[in-house]
Amino acid sequence: MRIANLKKWIGLGRGGVFRFSETGLRVLSIALAIGLWVFVNAGERGSVMPLTVPISYRSLPAGLAIMNHPPDFVTIEVAGPRTLLSLLEPERLSLRLDLRGVAPGQSDFKIYPAMFNVPRQTSVTRISPDQLSLDIDRLVSRDVPVKVALEGKVADGFKISAVEVRPPTVSINGPGRYVSQVTQVETQPFDVKGLSADIERSIELAGWNPAVRYSVTRVEARVEVGEQIADREFKGVKVEVKDPDYRFRVDPKQATLTIRGPRLKLSSLDAKGIAYVDAKGMMPGSHELPLQIALPDGMQLVHQSPDKVRLRVYRERLTISADEQHPS
């Protein structure tokens, strides 16, 4: 009976050929609709997808700079149908942070779900980080002097007499917190080891902070080298008498001299003959004469004692050399 009813319901005809009745077609349509609904809703079933979204910082006012290193990406979770989530592209969801109106100091930016352009039927459920902090500073410029960084020692007996640099100042530009700390800009080391003459060289500036820019990166430096000047005291210098016609006696016979000049030349200076009086044309009698000092070129008399000497000229004409004629 049941088999007969089933055949009747589905319309089994002669020869075993199926013929659907109107009722059967309705049942089949409903079954197909249910299957399609199940399929579609399986694809529309809620899901969560994590995405790494790039951040772009835009419209920073001129004359300002970001000092810290804010993140380049933010991680979000998007909930929605799987079919829609599978179509999401992180690059198209880029977070565009508008920096118009920021001022020097710290600026905090809260990140909201509405800032991400996700499709309908999806929503941003989680953001990490959900707040960004930017350290903003003002860009400034100033002129500072250039200092040549000398390295090594010049040759013995010499000294550095002058250091010139062109240009003498450079303009620096960068964040105010760094530029305000700069009082001068040094060069790379300038080696003067063993120098005994002037030298000129092009040399690079020494950058201490990459955030600070210089108007020039090289300067022309000139180092002038001169002989060291020193003072030397000579004691017991014999007082010479030049061109005497008569026998004589000089008092005092020795002098003390302080002479200034190049240190190396001064150390080898022989003081013999540099202190004297001129006896030419002096007639017998007692004479007070200025003590004269004859110095090589480049030497200078700082002090002498005495300033004058007494020359006693006798009536006896000289028949022997002046060095042999002093009475005791």
Domain ranges of the chain: 2-44, 47-129, 139-227, 230-324
- Does position 322 have pLDDT exceeding 80, yes or no? no
- Does position 15 have pLDDT exceeding 60, yes or no? no
Per-residue tokens: 105: 């100091």
If you search the block for the tokens 């020795």, which residue do you land on?
Answer: 254
CATH number of 230-324: 2.170.120.30
**CB of 209 within 8 A of CB of 182?**
no
Interval 266-316: pLDDT, tens: 999 999 999 999 999 999 999 999 999 999 999 999 999 999 999 999 999
Q: Which CATH number applies to 139-227: 2.30.42.10, 3.40.50.20, 2.170.120.40, 3.30.1370.60?
A: 2.170.120.40
Share of the chain above pLDDT 90, in %: 78
Residues paired with 201 in a beta bridge: 221
Residues paired with 107 in a beta bridge: 134
Q: CA-to-CA distance for 186 and 204, rounded, in angstroms?
A: 9
Q: Do domains 139-227 and 230-324 have the same CATH topology?
A: yes
Q: CA-to-CA distance for 274 and 240, rounded, in angstroms?
A: 8
Q: What is the mean pLDDT of residues 64-72?
A: 95
- Residue 110, pLDDT score: 96
Q: What is the mean pLDDT of residues 160-177?
A: 96
Class at the top of the CATH hierarchy for domain 47-129:
mainly beta
Sheet containing strand 285-290, strands side by side: 246-251, 308-317, 285-290
Q: What is the mean pLDDT of residues 27-38?
A: 59
Q: What is the mean pLDDT of residues 77-97?
A: 92
**pTM exceeds 0.75:** no
Share of the chain above pLDDT 70, in %: 84
- Residue 19, pLDDT score: 53
Q: CA-to-CA distance for 96 and 161, rounded, in angstroms?
A: 60
Q: What is the mean pLDDT of residues 1-7?
A: 48
Average of per-residue pLDDT values in the chain: 88
Closest among 205, 213, 267 to 65, alpha carbons compared = 213
- Residue 241, pLDDT score: 96
Q: How many residues does the chain have?
A: 328
Per-residue tokens: 140: 């400034």
